[in-house]
Structure 1
Amino acid sequence: MNIKSLLLGSAAALAAVSGAQAADAIVAVEPEPMEYVRVCDAFGTGYFYIPGTETCLKIGGEIRATIYANETAVTDDGDDWESEVRARLTVEAKNDSELGTIASYIRIQATQSAALDRAAVVLDQAHITVGGFKVGRSLTWADDWGLEGESDGFFNNAKFNMMSYTYATDAFTVGLGIDDLSDIYVGNEVGLEGVVSGSFGAATVTVNGVYDFADEEGGIGGVLTADIGPGTLGIAGAWASGYATGYDFAAEWTVGAAYTFKATDKLKITPQVMYYGDVADSGVFTSDDAWAADLYIEYALAEGLKASADIRYVDVDGSDDGNWDGFVRLTRSF
């Protein structure tokens, strides 16, 4: 064997071995790229993009623990105090589209008092909004009527299956809606609701109105708030043409005032007084008047945690004495 043959044989052997090793080599597979959750700041804080979509999601909730006390009675058993825990879970989803912003809102709620064996979980609210249009189950604008304290009340029913349209700018809001009152009456009945609100510097004026087509009665309420000194002054008034079962007016008319004193960045103190003319009883307006006053205190313990308390006195014509009641409460929201 000559040198040339030896070199050619060695090269062939090396090529064969190299080919076998290449066939047995392990090739690492490139990992698929991971899609991390992205923060969505297009609709405010707390939103994040649902992976793979341009829809922004926000999850929130609240737990509220309260002890109520009443000079007369809180429960049917005649107890003068009772504890209650309420839990809420909210889910919001929003995205931009050729129709404008499409949004959905869901609020699930359960309330447990010591007198109940098991709390019922309910779909408290669920609605869809497209631009200024809203449809679903929601609170009416009249739910926002009133002052900062706890002694006011006029539109006692303020949550229905409904649809509405709202036009809003930075300083002006106007809206009109239809409420389904079928769960209150026998038969299909509806109500009409509306709102007009405007801000003028440090002052805001809001007027709410409703009309019950079944009872053919309506009510209107207005609130003026203005930043004065170290707090906010609120003046409210409302009037009804007659008692409407669908919206359950508390009285034929009412007026009141409150001042929310911002003692510190964390502490707010609100004294409030209200007067009611011809209060409602068993579905009719009576000739009895009433007045009420309360002191509401709220303190922010930390981010998302606040303590509050209220003490109230109510005096109705025809009753021997007035009545004291109130509560202490701890609320955790997120």
Structure 2
Amino acid sequence: MNIKSLLIGSAAALAFVSGAQAADAIVAAEPEPMEYVRVCDAYGTGYFYIPGTETCLKVGGRVRFDVQAASSYRPHSDLGWSTKSRAEIYLDSASDTEYGPLKTKIVTRFDFDGTYNDGTHTTTKLMAANIQLAGFLVGLADSQFTSFTGSAGDVINDDVVAYGQYEVNQISYVYKGDNGFSAMISVQDDRGAIVGKDAFGNTLYASGDDYAVDVVAGLGFKTDAFQFRIVGGYDESAEEGAVKARLDGTFGKINAFIMGAWNSDGDVVHVFAPGDSIGQSWGDWALWTGVGAKLSDTLAANLQVAYTDNETLAAAANLKWNPVSGLLIQPEITYTKWKTIDEDQWNGMIRFQRTF
């Protein structure tokens, strides 16, 4: 074999080896195993495990569109159709601990009032941001004076005669026994005394000037057909309080309730006796009652009436239609009469709401 043949053979061998090595070098590595989202059913439907953790998360919300002819909360408000759009986002977390489930709740709300139609009047509000463990709740939530007894009926305009305070920072403890007995104690941020309402009907508060807090306490008992709850609150700034009691009953496809409240000073409006929609006090007492009926699998009807010692009357009736799961179409008619100013107001409205 001459030198030329040897060189050619060596070059060919090197090319073959280099090509084999190059082919081996570009072989893709096997993919890392993926961790798919796992369903977490320990805390109810909709929860899933956050990948890589033992914490469960639930994401939900709703989108709403209202059209109404007037306002149930203000006289002389029948000036033409008004519209409002709302979006809410819910985030709930839960994880197991030696003291029971550790939970958090976040609710954010975005409103657009169609009265303006300029694209700049979207309001953002934090409705809830709290931590819950072993019956304790700390953070932002509706006052226990309101949430322990529940809202005044399954109608849209249920608080023309207001029945309590909503979002407030608090430290609360709620006990729920296996025998139907429940108890609650809460201390909450003292916003100061109510000084009136703004042009949009929002409650205005004076600033607190000390370190004192408002106090709320309540008791309840529930059976298969009935539930009774009583709650009391003391407004430190106003130096006044209120007591509210409620009885609910379920009779087949019909449910009914009656709720009454007493104000320690009928001339004073405070956070636990917020008065009516134009800023008047209840007087010495207020009363709410209502009934609801399930007419079919997709249709229900509700009626609510509220009345105060100062003779404010508020009535509402509606139909709730769920044509498909998650979608609500709700027409409602209301009538409000403010006796002290000799004014009244009718209102008709319809709500479209998608909950997910």
Structure 1 and Structure 2 fold alike (TM over 0.5):
yes
| Corresponding letter in the other structure for 2:153 | L
| Corresponding letter in the other structure for 1:185 | A
In the alignment, does 2:182 pair up with 1:160? no
Give the percent of matched residue pairs that are identical in Structure 1 and Structure 2.
30
Structure 2 Cα separation of the partners of residues 123 and 71 of structure 1: 24
In the alignment, does 2:221 pair up with 1:198? yes
Gap runs ≥5 in structure 1: 1-15, 279-288
Compared CA separation, residues 80 and 240, structure 1 to 2 (3 A)? farther
Structure 2 Cα separation of the partners of residues 163 and 146 of structure 1: 24
Mapping of 1:45-194 within 5 angstroms? 45-70=45-70, 79-116=79-116, 117-141=120-144, 142-143=146-147, 144-149=150-155, 150-152=157-159, 153-170=161-178, 171-182=180-191, 184-186=205-207, 187-188=209-210, 189-194=212-217
- Per the TM alignment, residue 275 of structure 1 is displaced from its structure 2 partner at its CA by 2.0
Instruction: Show the counterpart of 1:256.
Output: 288
Compared CA separation, residues 23 and 119, structure 1 to 2 (3 A)? closer
| Corresponding letter in the other structure for 2:297 | D
Mapping of 1:170-319 within 5 angstroms? 170=178, 171-182=180-191, 184-186=205-207, 187-188=209-210, 189-242=212-265, 243-250=268-275, 251=282, 252-278=284-310, 289-319=311-341
Post-superposition CA distance 1:35-86 (Å, at most 9, x none): 1111111101001100000000011111111112228997999724310011
Structure 2 Cα separation of the partners of residues 318 and 122 of structure 1: 33
Post-superposition CA distance 1:157-186 (Å, at most 9, x none): 322011101111342221111110236332
| Corresponding letter in the other structure for 2:99 | L
Structure 1 Cα separation of the partners of residues 331 and 153 of structure 2: 16
For these two proteins, the number of residue pairs brought into alignment is 309
- Which shows bigger deviation, 236-245 or 35-44? 236-245
Partner SS, residue 31 of structure 1: coil
Partner SS, residue 32 of structure 1: coil
Gap runs ≥5 in structure 2: 1-13, 193-204, 276-281
- Provide the TM-score with structure 2 as the length reference: 0.78
Structure 1 Cα separation of the partners of residues 152 and 237 of structure 2: 25
- Which shows bigger deviation, 302-311 or 19-28? 19-28
Higher-Rg structure is: 1
Compared CA separation, residues 230 and 29, structure 1 to 2 (3 A)? closer
Query: What RMSD over aligned residues (CA atoms) do the two structures have, in Å?
Result: 2.7
Contact 2:70–2:77 (CA under 8 A) maintained in structure 1? no
Partner SS, residue 122 of structure 2: coil
Structure 1 Cα separation of the partners of residues 251 and 223 of structure 2: 14
Compared CA separation, residues 24 and 330, structure 1 to 2 (3 A)? closer
Structure 1 Cα separation of the partners of residues 153 and 251 of structure 2: 15
Structure 2 Cα separation of the partners of residues 156 and 194 of structure 1: 13
Q: Going by fraction, where is strand more abundant, 1 or 2?
A: 1
- Provide the TM-score with structure 1 as the length reference: 0.83
Contact 1:73–1:79 (CA under 8 A) maintained in structure 2? no
| Corresponding letter in the other structure for 1:246 | V
Contact 1:75–1:82 (CA under 8 A) maintained in structure 2? no
